[in-house]
Structure 1
Amino acid sequence: MVISWARNPFIRLVLPLMAGILTYLYAGAALPNLGGAVVGVFILFLVVQVWAARRPTPGATDVAGLLAVLMLYVAGAALTQQATESHARNHLYRFAGRVEYYRAVVDEYTVVRPATYATTVRVSAVRVAGRWQPAQGGVRVSVPREEGLPVPQYGDVWVVRGAPAPSKAPLNPSEFDYRRYLQYHQVYHQQFIHPDQFLKVANDPPSILRAIAMRAARVLDGVFRHYVHAKREYALASALVLGIKDDVDQETKQAYANTGTTHIMAVSGLQVGLLFGAVTWLLGLLPGRRGPLFRLFTALLGLAVIWSYAFVTGLSASVLRAAVMFSFIIVARATSRQTSMYNLLAVAAFFLLCYDPYLLCDVGFQLSFLAVLSIVYLQPRIAGWLNPAGYFLKKQRPWQSSAVQKSWKWLGIGLKYVWQATALSLAAQVATFPLGLYYFHQFPLSFLFSNLVAVPISSGAVYVGLALLVLKGLVAVVGLMSPALAAFLDYGPQALAFVFEKMIWAFNEYIFGVGRLMPGALVSGIHVTTPQVWLIGGVIMALLLFFALRKLPWLALGCTLLGVFAGSRVWAAYELAPTEQLVIYSIPRRSVVGFWQGASADVVMLDSLPLTETERTYRIVPGIIQRNARRVAYHPGWQACTVPAVVAEPGLTLAAWRGRKLAFVNGPLSGATEPVQGLTAVVLRRNARVKPQELAATFGTAAPVVFDSSCKSWYVLRQDSVLRAAGFRTHDVTLAGAFVVQGRQ
């Protein structure tokens, strides 16, 4: 496990670069412009390098090396600073809400949702005070799906009325930070655009090549739609081969997530690796495969196949990452460079991060490189634990018949491949385990059973699907010359499509079957903090070093880090136990309040309607995971709820919880109720028709007035100004996020 720096020079380059990027991500706001620092360190490095060359002493060489590391560290931070669009002088941020119109181009695939189209547009100009001026910035837009409204296409140029709003922070406790996710993609604004609010004026794609690639992907998707008749199988076919997941239903996504096979539906390293393996195997069958010309031919063919596939999948980011990685491998083999796989991965990561430093924040980038690193190092070692082929080969005896001897041989070979696939799956999980817990809050114990069968079948399906596309292309070419012959030859694609559909059906049924047979194999609701992820990674690294070097200090370090991790979990539980939290949630068009005490909670839906799975998963569950809650009860209305509530009059409900009083107002106050003092908050629901003087007479002005999510925006806008003028403090959960009151027992 000791790194040979001579064979892995790029590891020394990529590590400080990554450290610089991370420094900017965590402390970028406090850093000045780093361009001058990069130039200064570079000049100092050149001076020391020249000095070290003239006086080659170990000390001078070490100083030059340290300056090179420092230069890459500062360069990583500077690159990230330059890649941050919000620093530009003409960024949308600079215009605040003064934008009357803006001109933008659709710069991404359009995600088709049940009620909306979602995509990203890049702004090129804004109109402020009647004058157009250059601007830049990304806006995540949603457009309602209406009859007659076409799907936004890459390259569509729009003129949009109105100013986009800055992306919202998480609205509920521990909710996914979508604002930060967008910022990592240089998108800082969001806007819901009505059909009468924008006009398509042209089509001018930012990249002609990408526009053609996206169009090619949609054409090939049409081939699958035509030949694969079952809806679910078609959706999986398009996701598996082309990466288009618009039609994959939520039940299927959840089944794959629960069994640890989501990567099958994501076109990335798996598919590119399969193509690379197929090309390598086919070229290995050619006779006389020696010499530089053959290596050049194989390299060019491999690059052509990989990048052609990247093109027909729309040049998606995940495929481009994998294509770059395998391109370096192909070039290294073609030039017969004696370099390790670790160095090749470092080269790919280095150039990708120089191109876009924010890739380091991308979940796919992190998981891809960690999985490959783990596979390269651990898979051969795990596979070496067992030797099924050798074991069953020893079972052969001279007196056994030829059929029995061959049975032992092929049984050993079959189990060898099964064990190698198991070793690969185990190796990939070792490095990605901490990030899996951090990002997905779950760990599927059934990953071995599901991947062992699903991955080989799906891999075969990829080959068959690509063969279907090639065969259909050949038939289409024949059709240009002879439609009658093409109609006859079309039986070939139909037969291949039948096999393709059945293969997809088989591995899909297998995935669902694993989920049904092992319902308790998914460990979910796991919350780990960023420091705890580093601690888990440190434990894994220390143990790997111990097994590689056989030195007890590494084992001691692993045990120490494990103890610190366990202590942090215990301390978090100790700190949480006495805490209390009252939450008025921000859930569109809903009235929901949560009463949290330690690791238990009562969530009350005041409108007496149960939460949908989507509402519960994205709005409530993150808080449950963060608190490691053991008991969460959902109550449609106050019935059977442990929190006492009294309907004082038709438009008023009073609730008391652990010394805190709440008033929920959803209608006019009659004035018959006696004044209520000592309230924690007054919650207005369903556009309650109340006047400030009525609220003041009933509750006083000390308690804040909270507009919950069932209130319309026009109502909040009108009432907010009136209430503030009357001396009330107000809080709108739709704009400001959930209203939270913290306390301790």
Structure 2
Amino acid sequence: MVIKWAPNAFIRLVLPLMAGILTYLYIGSQLPDFRLLLVGLVLLFLLVQFWAARRTSPGATDAAGLLAMLVLYAAGLTFTQQGTESRAPDHLYRFGNRVEFYRAVVDDYTVVRPATYATTVRVSAVRVAGQWGPARGGIRVSIPRDDSTAAPQYGDVWLVRGAPAPSKAPLNPGEFDYRRYLAYHQVYHQQFIHPDQYQRIAIAPPSQLRAMAMRAARVLDGVFRQYVHAKREYALASALVLGIKDEVDQETKQAYANTGTTHIMAVSGLQVGLLFGAVTWLLSLLPGRRERVFRLLTALLGLTVIWSYAFLTGLSASVLRAAVMFSFIIIARATGRQTSMYNLLAVAAFFLLCYDPYLLCDVGFQLSFLAVLSIVYLQPRIAGWFEPEEYFLDRQRPWQSKAVQKSWKWLGKGVNYIWQAMALSLAAQVATFPLGLFYFHQFPLSFLLSNLVAVPISSGAVYVGLLLLVLKGAVALVGLASPGIAQVLNYGPKGVAWLFERMVWAFNEYIFWIGRSMPGALVSGIHVTTPQVWLIGGVLLAVLVFIALKKLPWLAVACALLGLFAGSRVWAAHQLAPDEQLVIYSIPRRSVVGFWHGAAAEIVTVDSLPLSETERTYRIVPGIIQRDARRVMYRQGWQRSQVPTAVAEPGLTLVVWRGRPVAFINDRLSGATQPASGLTAIVLRRNARVQPTELAALFGTAAPIVFDSSCKSWYVLRQDSLLRAAGFQTHDVTLHGAFIVRAGQ
């Protein structure tokens, strides 16, 4: 497994660039402006390179090479620094809540949710103290979805009243850090905008090309909507070919996630690769393909097809990544450059990261490149373990009939196809395994069986879906000249659409069947930390090096890393075992409290209503996964809870946690309420009608006041100032996240 640097020069370039990007992501806020330093390093490199070119000693060349790596490291750091929009002097952060109005343009796709539309707007100007001035910044906005509100369109220019709020940190333990996700996309604010808060004043798309691409994608989506009649099949067809997943229901998304086939629904490398393969195969049938001019013409055709598809799917980020990757492959083949796939991947990654350093944080970018890298290296090696065609050809005998001999031959080809597909799926899983655990907290053991059938069917469906779009386009063109002929020709698209819908139906049914037949094949609830991901990756890499070089020290390294990983898991469990927490959760319009002891928990819905699947999945389960909890009980109301409780009166419940009471108040207190001391917290629910003096007289001012999520914002705003003036400490879980008390505090 020795790396030959000559054909893989860009690997040496992309690694220091990535190191510089990572350095900024971890400690960038503490670093000064690096632009002058980068310029100085570039000038120094040019001088050293000029000097080294006049020397024959290897040391001079090595010095220039090391300096080049330092320049790329500084470039990665500087590019990321300059690409961080929040550093700009006119960023929204500098204005705080003083913004009265702002002007912004819709700069992203609109996500259609059951009750809202969500999109991203980019600010161009703000009004502060009656004066307009330039500003910049991204805001993730949501607006109500109803019959009177039109969906935001790319390029809509809005005038919005009010100041956006900085993006919220995760509100509950283990919850997805949406604030960090937005920051990686240069969005640092969020706002829920009511219909009377904004007005569309113009249409000015930031990119006319992208605007046309989005319109084209919607037109093609209309073709599927017209010809694919079943709602579920239409939703999946649009996601499969165009990447539009607005209509895919949650049950379908979960079924694909449980079987490891979610990647099929995202238009990315699979679809672009299928187009690349189809174009390559068709061009291979033409004569004269060895001539240089022919290679250049076919390369131009291949690039045209791939980038046309990227355009027709709305120029989404995932398709653009795949298009760039395959473009480098096409250009390398056309120019006859003898370069390796590893170098081509490094070239694509290098230019993409120079364009947007924050792509390194993108889950799709990481998984795409790791999967392709693993397939390129491992798939031929895994496939080489078994040669089905040779095996079955050896079964042929001279005395057998021709039919029997042909059956052996075709059986070998069929088994070889299956084995090649399994090898590809296994290879892709090896490199993406650690990241799959880290991001999705699960591993589908059924991935081989799922992908074995799902990928071929979905690939065929993509080809048929694209054929439907081409035929519909041809019929539409004929219809401009002769509507009558177009009406007859329309039976062609209808026939293809019928086949397309049947294929999508079969594909979908197979995925659901796998989920029903193998309910225990999904290993879920796995939590690994960032260092543990690196340890798992290190183990896999060391094992691969050992297999390639057959040297025992590498196996020892793998065992040592595996021991460190196991030790980290044991240490985390040891640290967690005595940990006890009281958690007042932040769940909109709900009153939920958790009593944690190590890996066991009791979750009580104080309002006696069960948690919905969405509330449990996104608010509670992440914390369960983070603590690797094994015994979690959900209780509806205090009556079913095992926690000692005492209802002092209809509006007051005292819960004893670790020998200290916690008061839950949801109504007016009567004069007969007995004073209590030593409280852990006082939780106000449902806009409880209490006065600060009343609370101070009964409980004192030592215990913090917690407003749970059932309290309205106007109530919290009014009571918070009064309670603080009376000497209380307050905590609003809606604004500041879950209230957590650890044993001993």
State the secondary structure of the residue aligned to 2:133.
Answer: strand
Q: In structure 2, what is the equivalent of residue 661 of structure 1?
A: 661
- Determine the C-alpha separation between the residues in 2 that align with 1:9 and 1:369: 17
Q: In structure 2, what is the equivalent of residue 634 of structure 1?
A: 634
Q: In structure 1, what is the equivalent of residue 553 of structure 2?
A: 553
- Determine the C-alpha separation between the residues in 2 that align with 1:149 and 1:478: 37
Amino acid aligned to 2:34: L
- Determine the C-alpha separation between the residues in 2 that align with 1:628 and 1:154: 42
Q: In structure 2, what is the equivalent of residue 227 of structure 1?
A: 227
Amino acid aligned to 1:347: V
Contact 1:76/1:357, CA 8 A, preserved across alignment:
yes
How far did residue 150 of structure 1 move?
A: 0.8
| Residue identity (%) | 80
After superposition, residues 452-491 of structure 1 pair within 5 angstroms as 452-491=452-491
Amino acid aligned to 1:73: Y
Residues 458-505 of structure 1, C-alpha deviation per residue, up to 9 Å, x if partnerless? 000000000000000000001111111111111110110000000000
Q: In structure 2, what is the equivalent of residue 351 of structure 1?
A: 351
How far did residue 285 of structure 1 move?
A: 1.0
Q: In structure 1, what is the equivalent of residue 190 of structure 2?
A: 190
Q: In structure 1, what is the equivalent of residue 76 of structure 2?
A: 76
State the secondary structure of the residue aligned to 2:309.
Answer: helix
- Determine the C-alpha separation between the residues in 2 that align with 1:558 and 1:173: 33
- Determine the C-alpha separation between the residues in 1 that align with 2:698 and 2:64: 75
Amino acid aligned to 1:5: W
Q: In structure 1, what is the equivalent of residue 297 of structure 2?
A: 297
Q: In structure 1, what is the equivalent of residue 579 of structure 2?
A: 579
Q: In structure 2, what is the equivalent of residue 363 of structure 1?
A: 363
Contact 1:422/1:448, CA 8 A, preserved across alignment:
yes
Once the two structures are overlaid, the 10-residue window that deviates more, 12-21 or 476-485, is: 476-485
Once the two structures are overlaid, the 10-residue window that deviates more, 59-68 or 375-384, is: 59-68
Contact 1:221/1:242, CA 8 A, preserved across alignment:
yes
- Determine the C-alpha separation between the residues in 1 that align with 2:288 and 2:296: 14
Q: In structure 2, what is the equivalent of residue 206 of structure 1?
A: 206
Q: TM-score, normalization: structure 1?
A: 0.99
- Determine the C-alpha separation between the residues in 2 that align with 1:743 and 1:357: 43
How far did residue 149 of structure 1 move?
A: 1.1
Say whether residues 1:17 and 2:17 are aligned partners.
Answer: yes
- Determine the C-alpha separation between the residues in 1 that align with 2:173 and 2:253: 25
Contact 1:105/1:204, CA 8 A, preserved across alignment:
yes
- Determine the C-alpha separation between the residues in 2 that align with 1:5 and 1:374: 19
After superposition, residues 422-461 of structure 1 pair within 5 angstroms as 422-461=422-461
Amino acid aligned to 1:88: A
- Determine the C-alpha separation between the residues in 2 that align with 1:2 and 1:375: 18
How far did residue 146 of structure 1 move?
A: 1.7
Residues 343-384 of structure 1, C-alpha deviation per residue, up to 9 Å, x if partnerless? 000000000000000000000000000000000000000000
How far did residue 395 of structure 1 move?
A: 0.7
Q: In structure 1, what is the equivalent of residue 726 of structure 2?
A: 726
Residues 625-680 of structure 1, C-alpha deviation per residue, up to 9 Å, x if partnerless? 00000010011101221111111101000000222320000000102121110000
Amino acid aligned to 1:619: R
- Determine the C-alpha separation between the residues in 1 that align with 2:316 and 2:235: 18
Amino acid aligned to 1:739: F
Contact 1:124/1:136, CA 8 A, preserved across alignment:
yes
Contact 1:441/1:525, CA 8 A, preserved across alignment:
yes
Say whether residues 1:528 and 2:536 are aligned partners.
Answer: no
After superposition, residues 534-545 of structure 1 pair within 5 angstroms as 534-545=534-545
Residues 545-571 of structure 1, C-alpha deviation per residue, up to 9 Å, x if partnerless? 000011111111011000000000000
How far did residue 744 of structure 1 move?
A: 6.3
- Determine the C-alpha separation between the residues in 2 that align with 1:377 and 1:282: 27
- Determine the C-alpha separation between the residues in 2 that align with 1:531 and 1:281: 44
Q: In structure 2, what is the equivalent of residue 102 of structure 1?
A: 102
How far did residue 281 of structure 1 move?
A: 0.5
Amino acid aligned to 1:563: G
After superposition, residues 538-687 of structure 1 pair within 5 angstroms as 538-687=538-687
State the secondary structure of the residue aligned to 1:604.
Answer: strand
Amino acid aligned to 1:731: H
Amino acid aligned to 1:240: L
Contact 1:671/1:698, CA 8 A, preserved across alignment:
no
- Determine the C-alpha separation between the residues in 2 that align with 1:11 and 1:643: 59
Amino acid aligned to 1:258: N
Give the total of aligned pairs: 745
Are residues 402 and 744 of structure 1, via their aligned partners in 2, closer, same or farther at CA, if it must alter by over 3 Å?
farther
Q: TM-score, normalization: structure 2?
A: 0.99
How far did residue 53 of structure 1 move?
A: 1.6
How far did residue 572 of structure 1 move?
A: 0.3
State the secondary structure of the residue aligned to 1:568.
Answer: helix
Say whether residues 1:688 and 2:688 are aligned partners.
Answer: yes
- Determine the C-alpha separation between the residues in 1 that align with 2:91 and 2:223: 42
Q: In structure 1, what is the equivalent of residue 738 of structure 2?
A: 738
- Determine the C-alpha separation between the residues in 1 that align with 2:591 and 2:21: 42
Amino acid aligned to 1:681: A
CA RMSD of aligned residues (A): 0.8
How far did residue 286 of structure 1 move?
A: 1.1
Q: In structure 1, what is the equivalent of residue 391 of structure 2?
A: 391
Q: In structure 2, what is the equivalent of residue 64 of structure 1?
A: 64
- Determine the C-alpha separation between the residues in 2 that align with 1:538 and 1:289: 44
- Determine the C-alpha separation between the residues in 1 that align with 2:659 and 2:556: 49
State the secondary structure of the residue aligned to 1:7.
Answer: helix
Unaligned ranges ≥5, structure 2 = none
- Determine the C-alpha separation between the residues in 1 that align with 2:644 and 2:218: 57
How far did residue 394 of structure 1 move?
A: 0.6
State the secondary structure of the residue aligned to 1:690.
Answer: coil
Once the two structures are overlaid, the 10-residue window that deviates more, 35-44 or 348-357, is: 35-44
How far did residue 2 of structure 1 move?
A: 1.3
- Determine the C-alpha separation between the residues in 2 that align with 1:74 and 1:120: 31
> After the TM superposition, which segments of 4 or more aligned residues of structure 1 sit over 4 Å from their partners?
none
Contact 1:652/1:664, CA 8 A, preserved across alignment:
yes
Contact 1:441/1:526, CA 8 A, preserved across alignment:
yes
- Determine the C-alpha separation between the residues in 2 that align with 1:37 and 1:289: 49
After superposition, residues 66-465 of structure 1 pair within 5 angstroms as 66-465=66-465
Contact 1:578/1:744, CA 8 A, preserved across alignment:
no
Are residues 444 and 744 of structure 1, via their aligned partners in 2, closer, same or farther at CA, if it must alter by over 3 Å?
farther
How far did residue 455 of structure 1 move?
A: 0.4
- Determine the C-alpha separation between the residues in 1 that align with 2:236 and 2:304: 26
- Determine the C-alpha separation between the residues in 1 that align with 2:671 and 2:347: 74
Contact 1:583/1:740, CA 8 A, preserved across alignment:
yes
- Determine the C-alpha separation between the residues in 2 that align with 1:586 and 1:453: 42
- Determine the C-alpha separation between the residues in 2 that align with 1:658 and 1:681: 13
State the secondary structure of the residue aligned to 1:146.
Answer: coil
Residues 33-72 of structure 1, C-alpha deviation per residue, up to 9 Å, x if partnerless? 1111111211221222122122231222111111111110
- Determine the C-alpha separation between the residues in 1 that align with 2:55 and 2:306: 47
Residues 95-147 of structure 1, C-alpha deviation per residue, up to 9 Å, x if partnerless? 11110000000000000000000000000000011111000000000000121
Contact 1:671/1:694, CA 8 A, preserved across alignment:
no
State the secondary structure of the residue aligned to 1:200.
Answer: strand
Contact 1:17/1:72, CA 8 A, preserved across alignment:
yes
Amino acid aligned to 1:243: G
After superposition, residues 506-517 of structure 1 pair within 5 angstroms as 506-517=506-517
Amino acid aligned to 2:417: Y
